[in-house]
Structure 1
Amino acid sequence: MVWTTTYKIPQSIAILAVAGTMLGMDISSMSIFLGSEYFNRYFNYPGPVIQGLMTGANPVGGLIGCVLFGILTERIGRVTTFQVVALIWILGSVISAMVLNVTMLIVGRLVRGIAVGTLSVLLPVYIGEVIPSNKKGAATSIVQLALTLAILVTFFTCFLLNFLENQISFRVAWGLEMIPALVFFLLSFCLSESPRWLVAHGQYDRAQDILQHFAQGKVSNANITKIDILEMYGTNQRTGYWDLLSKPLLKYTLIGVTVQVLVQACGINILMFYIVYICEMIGLKGTSKLSAASVPYLINVVFTCIPILTLDRLRRKLVIVHGGISLACTMTLIGIMMGCLGHKVPPVNGNSTIVWEVTGTPGLIVLALCFLFVAIFASTLSCCAWLYTNEVLPARAKSKGMALCMATSWFLNSCLTFTTPLLLSKIKWITFVLLGVVTIILSTIIAIWFPETREKKELEPQPDEVTSKNSNEDTSEVEKETRSAAPSPYIHEMNKIELIAEQGYQETV
């Protein structure tokens, strides 16, 4: 079968969206089964530590995946790494579908987590290197929307399979997760390699050919030369991980890491992973519990549509700060209400993690605040934090910098996911208050000291301005060969990593 490489931006985004579904499937594939009697009986009623290992195996794999990204993508390229990741995901799905004990469950989630961790770095890096600047926000948001849709579909699939009330339920659910990976593996052969990666490896002719293909139909008579490519991407000098800690890059690295810490510290993954536990704390049971637990996933999908329509026009820092402060207030209020209006109870249904209860109207208010929390996160941090981290890193440090920032995110995610059952069993409602306090501190730091990355776009020449300039120039052969000071308008439309913009932007931090 012959696969034709696509150079159309909408088609490329659509293929990346399929990869986005893989990012979301594992988030909800455990939440239904964790509270089920047959699931706990099959795995010998795991305690808080084992529950943490079962759920936390995925983010631990994500941390490993970030390291794997740095090894693979610099050697074999972005597209080939996409294909390797899809195969890793399929392997993890097979292990999970054949699960026999807790060890196999943890290994299966760990392997899939490796694929997710690699994708969490590779997707924003690829978007930053291939998608035009004026469409990066929409592309990031569409991938995030695919992620949230996958969470929702997986949840309802598990919800329906749960009625079987035996091991077939989770085996089928986890086996079905290999379908999007198979689809993405096939579609990935249609993606073009990143010109940025090609230039970094000295493949200027191939990078020039790809950019010429993208230029067709965009700008009339666009003629992209190697001089233009060098101006866009610089030389093939590479940045190592230790360089991220050097004086010129350290502040950008710290900014990106802090934003990713905020994403995890706000508590979104804890809420999504353990929403079933919260429903049990407020007294919901049976179908009512599972129905209420599905609402956050639906809210997540609906409110992720907002960044698709607005993110390219909004200031990134403003979105993150407003979102972070709102999330902090909501999470703190959840904890305070649970502490003031709830009380300690014996382990619910034998689950030693759930030892606190807040029923009646206060419980419903807590649940409503959880729904509000998800809505705020989906419309602010879910997409913008990803985009901001990619934009704040200088061109030469984007690949390694994103890997380090996302590795930090996955490390904190794994720590929180693992310790949450222990925290809920020991300090109970104080867990939510702590998350709120940390979130407000990080949001304040971002508001006071961090730069606005959307201003970076204003430093780039606009396509119309360059086109007008070029139309008034002499078209002699000599001037065409020496036009390195004014590259083609298509380059300014496609390029996200201009050295001049980077230098000017560094002065604003």
Structure 2
Amino acid sequence: MISSAARIELAQPGAGDGEDRLSSRLRRDVARTEPSRIRAGAESDRWKSVVEEPRDRCRFSDGIGYFKDRVYPPRSSTPIYYEHVSPRPLPYIYLFLSTTPPQLIFSSSFVVCSSTMAGSGGGVDDKHIDYPGKMTVFVFLACLVASSGGLIFGYDIGISGGVTSMDPFLKKFFPSVYAKEQEVVDTNQYCKFDSVLLTLFTSSLYLAALVASLFAGHITKACGRKASMLGGGCIFLVGAILNAFAVNVAMLIIGRICLGIGVGFTNQSVPLYLSEMAPAKMRGMLNISFQLMITIGILSANLINYFTAKIAGGWGWRLGLGLAAVPAVIMVGGSLFLPDTPNSLVARGKDDEARAMLRRIRGTADVGLEFDDLVAASKATRAVESPWRTLMQRRYRPQLAMAFLIPVLQQLTGINVVMFYAPVLFKTIGFGGTASLVSAVITGLVNMVATFVSIATVDRLGRRKLLLQGGTQMILAQFVLGTLIAIKFGTSGVADISRPYAIGVVICICVFVSAFAWSWGPLGWLIPSEIFPLEIRSAAQSAVVVFNMTFTFIIAQIFLMLLCRLKFGLFYFFGAWEVVMTIFVYFFLPETKGIPIEEMDRIWANHWYWKRFVQDHNSKVEMTSSAV
């Protein structure tokens, strides 16, 4: 690293463009303090100084400021970091690195309050770079419109299960399945709904979304977040129309594929859009609005299923599938008026528009510090030829691990198992033939209400606390639920449950669903969207969606079969995974609350485990620079 003695205070920089020739005293000081890097007789007159006033935005009460310098070696987009302490902000900071010939390289200086680790998980202190700005009405409305992308995903999740339980729908498209259910009486509750064909129809959307995600990242990067959301909404709208007027299975499947493509694009672009538009201190709340919209979409679909199932004539399923066009129209119409994010504008070379947009969304003209960081990140992005190959590099191992583990662990919470089994339990407390639809409405309502808890607390309590507390609550609910089912149903799946007993089981289900709704549900989308540097952000978010949709598809395909074979043991199976994921969060997930996206890299450099990957890379860069 560059020693502190290589930072020399001068009276004033040269006039004009901010460059001046170094004085002989300065050259002597640098040569004396950096003998291993500076050769005698080097062409020091070619050295140039880039002078920048550091911004002292963050101070401790004792007046000591913690400064962090970001140094870019020649021909490298990867910075070297140097941290030092000063009782006052230095008026000018000069940073040097030996090259051939030796020259002063570009540096940006900014203030950080602390890089101290906090907690077992390696969170960082709350003191960090604080960009100026505030929450504006413009940002709130933009994020509200963008988050409507969650409506299309949530609506499909809610509508598909209800439609596939309607007899007219089964008679038209899956007559063999309908005949089987009418002819075979199976009293084993564990195996009652084990139908691979219907499960494949439902989960095919996730397969289409998976494939679409592979292309969505490139389009989002090249054309912007807004264009990706607009395109996804249009394709979803086409799918809704095809499904509403479907006359055969082929038309129905094509419609499902269009829905999946739309979901793949919006799930990739919306979380990025929300994270980049939101101020750092309110990023969690605004980003979780995406998950809130998903829950609203699920609840709306469940209510529509309940009423359309009662329509005489057997065409209620068409109305349910066709109403998917409503959230699609909201998404498309809203996207037409949305601004693009400053990050995306900078990445596409529109710096003037980006600066103007940054001033508008932050509500202040003092955006120089944040804009400079965006430009620096964009330069790093342009130096990356293959974002996917770059994502596989060792220095991005922490982000890659999170891109894989968080969506996978989110699916291994077992939320699908609980949502599936709820109808059988609700039927025992007097809801009769409409039990499945009523139970879906109740669990959907709990899911939506609990999401508000996450919105209200995520930026105050942080991500780790919510995940740890939610994980603990899910573990308890899952094991208690499994035990209650085991006592009454045993391995045969046949039982006569009393009303008080069934109410207790239903309460366990609601406790589990609420825990998921304010922890792993929304944070499973929030955390991946905020941890990636700009140069790999689009590719990494695509990877998140790919992993999420892959395991959603796998779990949706096999969980009915596992329930039939493992019986009540399946609840213990997922409960064990919840223990694993809670331990993982405690030890390996750092806190990201309130940290600007462009400075998120420091949480990995300071983490007890992940720092070995980041520091190894920085050490190699330093050694390479020293050898030049």
* TM norm structure 2: 0.67
- Look up the SS of the partner of 1:241 in the other structure: helix
Find the aligned partners of 1:374 and 1:497 in 2 and give their Cα distance: 30
Find the aligned partners of 2:365 and 2:341 in 1 and give their Cα distance: 23
Find the aligned partners of 2:507 and 2:372 in 1 and give their Cα distance: 57
With over 3 angstroms needed to count, the CA separation of the structure-2 counterparts of 1:335 and 1:101, relative to structure 1, is farther
**Hey, what does 2:391 align to over in structure 1?**
244
Is residue 428 of structure 1 aligned with residue 567 of structure 2?
yes
Is residue 36 of structure 1 aligned with residue 137 of structure 2?
no
**Hey, what does 2:413 align to over in structure 1?**
266
Q: What are the equivalent positions in structure 2 for 1:102-251 lying under 5 Å apart? A: 102-164=249-311, 166-215=313-362, 218-219=363-364, 227=372, 229-231=374-376, 233-235=378-380, 236-238=382-384, 240-251=387-398
Cα distance, 1:182 vs structure 2: 1.4
Amino acid at match of 1:507: N
Find the aligned partners of 1:227 and 1:394 in 2 and give their Cα distance: 15
With over 3 angstroms needed to count, the CA separation of the structure-2 counterparts of 1:223 and 1:416, relative to structure 1, is closer
- Look up the SS of the partner of 2:148 in the other structure: helix
**Hey, what does 1:95 align to over in structure 2?**
242
- Amino-acid identity (%): 23
Is residue 359 of structure 1 aligned with residue 479 of structure 2?
no
Q: What are the equivalent positions in structure 2 for 1:288-327 lying under 5 Å apart? A: 288-327=435-474
Cα distance, 1:425 vs structure 2: 2.6
**Hey, what does 1:502 align to over in structure 2?**
601
Q: Do 1:281 and 1:356's aligned partners in 2 also have CA atoms closer than 8 Å?
A: no
Q: Do 2:305 and 2:320's aligned partners in 1 also have CA atoms closer than 8 Å?
A: yes
With over 3 angstroms needed to count, the CA separation of the structure-2 counterparts of 1:165 and 1:442, relative to structure 1, is farther
Cα distance, 1:284 vs structure 2: 5.4
**Hey, what does 1:437 align to over in structure 2?**
576
With over 3 angstroms needed to count, the CA separation of the structure-2 counterparts of 1:229 and 1:433, relative to structure 1, is closer
**Hey, what does 1:8 align to over in structure 2?**
138
Question: Where does structure 2 lack aligned partners over 5 or more consecutive residues?
Answer: 1-135, 178-193, 611-628
* TM norm structure 1: 0.81
**Hey, what does 1:22 align to over in structure 2?**
152
Find the aligned partners of 2:566 and 2:332 in 1 and give their Cα distance: 45
Q: Do 1:157 and 1:173's aligned partners in 2 also have CA atoms closer than 8 Å?
A: yes
Find the aligned partners of 2:219 and 2:226 in 1 and give their Cα distance: 11
- Look up the SS of the partner of 1:287 in the other structure: helix
The structure richer in helix per residue is 1
Cα distance, 1:392 vs structure 2: 3.1
Corresponding pairs, count: 453
Q: Do 2:152 and 2:294's aligned partners in 1 also have CA atoms closer than 8 Å?
A: yes
Root-mean-square deviation over aligned CA pairs: 2.7
With over 3 angstroms needed to count, the CA separation of the structure-2 counterparts of 1:367 and 1:357, relative to structure 1, is farther
Amino acid at match of 1:109: R
Q: Do 1:268 and 1:374's aligned partners in 2 also have CA atoms closer than 8 Å?
A: yes
| Greater C-alpha Rg | 2
Amino acid at match of 1:230: V
Q: Do 2:302 and 2:440's aligned partners in 1 also have CA atoms closer than 8 Å?
A: no
Aligned counterpart in structure 2 of residue 409 of structure 1, from 521, 537, 548: 548
Of residues 389-398 and 137-146 in structure 1, the stretch that sits farther from structure 2 once superposed is: 389-398
Find the aligned partners of 1:453 and 1:45 in 2 and give their Cα distance: 51
Find the aligned partners of 1:252 and 1:187 in 2 and give their Cα distance: 31
Cα distance, 1:186 vs structure 2: 1.7
Find the aligned partners of 2:156 and 2:167 in 1 and give their Cα distance: 21
**Hey, what does 2:106 align to over in structure 1?**
none
Cα distance, 1:282 vs structure 2: 8.0
Q: Do 1:90 and 1:178's aligned partners in 2 also have CA atoms closer than 8 Å?
A: yes
Find the aligned partners of 2:248 and 2:238 in 1 and give their Cα distance: 17
Find the aligned partners of 1:282 and 1:332 in 2 and give their Cα distance: 22
With over 3 angstroms needed to count, the CA separation of the structure-2 counterparts of 1:226 and 1:179, relative to structure 1, is closer
Q: Do 1:282 and 1:358's aligned partners in 2 also have CA atoms closer than 8 Å?
A: no
Find the aligned partners of 2:368 and 2:217 in 1 and give their Cα distance: 33
Deviations 1:391-427 (A, max 9, x none): 3333433322222122111111100111122222333
Q: Do 2:220 and 2:538's aligned partners in 1 also have CA atoms closer than 8 Å?
A: no
With over 3 angstroms needed to count, the CA separation of the structure-2 counterparts of 1:344 and 1:363, relative to structure 1, is farther
